[in-house]
Amino acid sequence: MSDTIFIKGLLIHARHGLLEHEAEVGQRFVIDLELCIDLAESSRTDKLADTVSYSDVVASAIAAFKGRNYYLLERAAGAVAEAILSAFERISTVKVTVHKPHAPIPAIFDDVGVIITRSRS
């Protein structure tokens, strides 16, 4: 299947990281989602019931990402992927990219983050 729903540039303030100030103050993260889903039916019927609500997917992603403070971006991204696959059975695979533009790295950089892809077993 080659159908994809994407959501890019979701801005979320959260308190993830290993350093104390990251947990206290938090920072901005940017999330991109790619959802593999069969859109054949919804492309014919024009009915929301035959696809997934983008709004519901975003709400699920935000709740999972902000649900607790994680030390690692890897775990935060994993929580988002797990939540989406759990809540939306039509989605077969989810790709989650988490950008941490203000990561405490002693260097000048454009972007840093993780990309994980999870599929149903």
Is residue 35 within 8 Å of 3, Cβ to Cβ?
A: no
How many residues does the structure list for the chain?
121
Whether 100 is a known active-site residue: answer yes
Query: Nearest-CA neighbor of 118 among 94, 84, 91, 97?
Result: 94
d(CA 116, CA 68): 19
Cα–Cα distance, 79 to 82 (Å, whole number): 5
Rounded CA gap, 34 and 38, in Å? 13
Residues tagged active-site: 100
